[in-house]
Structure 1
Amino acid sequence: MPTAVKTLKIRVKDKHAPLLLQMARQVNFVWNFINALSSRSIRERGQWLSAYDIHPYTKGAAKELGLHSHTLQCVAQEYVTRRRQFKRTRLNWRKSI
C-alpha cells in the first residue's frame, strides 16, 4: 500500500511560536549529534549504525531536551532512512533560526 504525504499550511498563533522554535532547535541538535556519531562510527570502526544502534546513545537525552523519547527515536529512524536514500556517510547539518 503506497504512502502519501500531504503538507498542510496552517497559521500558528504567535504565542506558540517560541515553543515551536525551541523544539525545532532541540530536534536539530539531536539530528546533528546523530550525524556526528554516525560519521565517527563509520570512520573509526567502518560500521554503519542502524536506528536500533543509535537508541542507546540518545537514551536519557529526552529528559534533558524536553522532548518525548519517541521523538528522538523518530529522528534517528529518519536520519538512517535519509542516509541510506542518499548513500552518504554524513548528511548536511540542520540549522536553526
Structure 2
Amino acid sequence: MQIKTKVFLGISLMALLAIGQVSFAAETDKDQTTTTNGMMNMMKMMDNHGMSKMMDAMNSPEGQEMMKSCSKFMESYNEKEEGGKTK
C-alpha cells in the first residue's frame, strides 16, 4: 500500500470512530424525558435568590390580594373561553 492510502485510511478510521462516539453519547441524552429536564430547570429557577424574594412577597397582604385578583381573572377567562367553544 502506498503511504497516501495508509494516511487516508487512518484519518478516515479516526473520523469514523470520533463520529460514532459523539453520536452514541448524544443518544444517551434521548433517554431523559422532557419532564426530567423540566424539573431540573424548575429546581434551578427555585434556587435563584430573586425567586425566594418573590415568594416572600407573595405571602404579604398585598401579594395575597394580587393572587386573589389573578385567580378571579383566570376564572373569568376560562369561563369566557369555554363559552366561546363549539362542541
- TM-score, structure 2 length as denominator? 0.37
Structure number with higher helix proportion: 2
Which structure's CA Rg is the greater one? 2
- TM-score, structure 1 length as denominator? 0.33
